[in-house]
């Protein structure tokens, strides 16, 4: 049976990239799909790109107030009709076989959710890196690995409709909402499969001290919400404390050392100990 797949695309001021993103969806080898574009209060007149002559598989919705990508994704899923739902970002590109391969793999593994790999391009340093790295394995405990590393990016996933009926994107997250969604899924009995193939091309945004601070805040929000899970996995908790320490190294030395210390107290690691000593 050729079931309908709904692709939800939240967009905020992406007039220059949204059409190429949609094109990468419409050119999928799996053709029974609908595209739900949610204009999240854009001010760049994105809506002018969509008219009655646009591909009839594309449905465009717009509201005036910017409410964030999580709200837009939840709304798009609610408005969709597919038996399966995928999420795309308005500035990323899918390989043409992305949906077909994911759906086939999801059924093969009898899973509720599947995610693929992603090629992350750095235009500044002109490099490309596969994500997640080779240490993430489909034959290992998915939840334990997800607690330690953010291996899932929203635009890489395909889910059964029942999943979004059970869990939602948390609108309180401004960053790592994909990580939170994956942890919600894995910890609630939803079977997740990993297709180790780079079927998404994504461009890395510029790095900065302010961005690193926001990253640290997001890490703290994540472990605060999922502390019950982290308390059962000291290795993962130590790894997250280390990540928080690293994110604050150039902006808040005291806070950085505090989280390195928390990492050491949870599970000793020589490299973290050295960072804690050097940070004095």
81 and 219 co-located in one domain: no
The one-character DSSP state at 45 is -
32 and 51 co-located in one domain: yes
How confident is the prediction along the chain (280 residues), in pLDDT tens digits per residue? Answer: 589 999 999 999 888 888 988 998 999 999 999 999 999 999 998 888 887 657 889 999 999 999 999 999 999 999 999 999 999 987 788 999 999 999 999 999 999 999 999 998 877 767 788 889 888 888 889 999 999 999 999 999 999 999 999 999 999 998 999 999 999 999 999 999 999 999 999 887 654 444 555 888 999 999 999 999 999 999 999 999 999 998 888 888 888 888 888 888 887 564 554 554 555 5
129 and 227 co-located in one domain: no
CA distance 88 to 8: 6
CATH code of the domain covering residue 267? 1.25.40
Domain end marker among 188, 203, 218: 203
CA 154 from chain center: how many Å? Answer: 3
CATH code of the domain covering residue 43? 3.90.550.10
What SS3 class is residue 139?
A: coil
If we measure between CA atoms, which residue out of 249, 232, 248 comes closest to residue 147?
232
Q: For residue 243, what are the domain limits?
A: 209-278
176 and 216 co-located in one domain: no
60 and 189 co-located in one domain: yes
Q: How many domains does the chain have?
A: 2
Domain end marker among 152, 178, 203: 203
Domain end marker among 153, 172, 203: 203
Residues forming beta bridges with residue 194, ordered by sequence position: 115
121 and 215 co-located in one domain: no
CA distance 183 to 23: 30
- Per the listing, tokens 């995928």 go with 86
pTM of the entire predicted model = 0.89
Strands 192-203 and 93-94: antiparallel
104 and 189 co-located in one domain: yes
């Amino acid at each position: 049976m050729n079931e309908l797949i709904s692709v939800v695309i939240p967009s905020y001021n992406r007039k220059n990239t949204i059409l190429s993103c949609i094109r990468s969806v419409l050119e999928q080898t799996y053709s029974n799909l609908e595209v739900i574009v949610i204009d999240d209060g854009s001010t760049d007149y994105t809506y002018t790109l969509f008219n009655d002559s646009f591909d009839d598989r594309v449905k465009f919705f717009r509201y005036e107030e910017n409410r964030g990508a999580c709200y837009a994704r939840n709304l798009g899923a609610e408005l969709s009709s597919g038996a399966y739902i995928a999420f795309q970002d308005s500035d990323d590109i899918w390989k043409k076989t992305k949906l077909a391969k994911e759906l086939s793999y999801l059924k093969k593994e009898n899973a509720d959710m599947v995610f693929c790999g992603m090629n992350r391009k750095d235009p500044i340093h002109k490099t490309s890196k596969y994500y997640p790295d080779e240490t993430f394995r489909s034959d290992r405990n998915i939840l334990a690995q997800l607690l330690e590393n953010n291996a899932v990016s929203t635009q890489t996933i395909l889910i059964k409709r029942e999943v979004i009926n059970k869990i939602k994107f948390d609108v309180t997250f401004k960053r790592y909402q994909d990580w939170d969604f994956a942890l919600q899924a894995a910890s609630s009995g939803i079977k997740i499969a990993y297709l180790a193939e780079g079927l998404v091309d994504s461009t890395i945004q510029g790095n900065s001290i302010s961005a690193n601070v926001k990253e640290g805040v997001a890490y703290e929000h994540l472990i605060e919400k999922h502390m019950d899970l982290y308390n059962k996995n000291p290795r993962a908790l130590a790894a997250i404390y280390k990540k928080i320490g690293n994110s604050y190294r150039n902006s808040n030395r005291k806070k950085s050392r505090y989280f390195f210390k928390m990492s050491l107290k949870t599970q000793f690691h020589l490299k973290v100990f050295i960072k804690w000593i050097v940070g004095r």
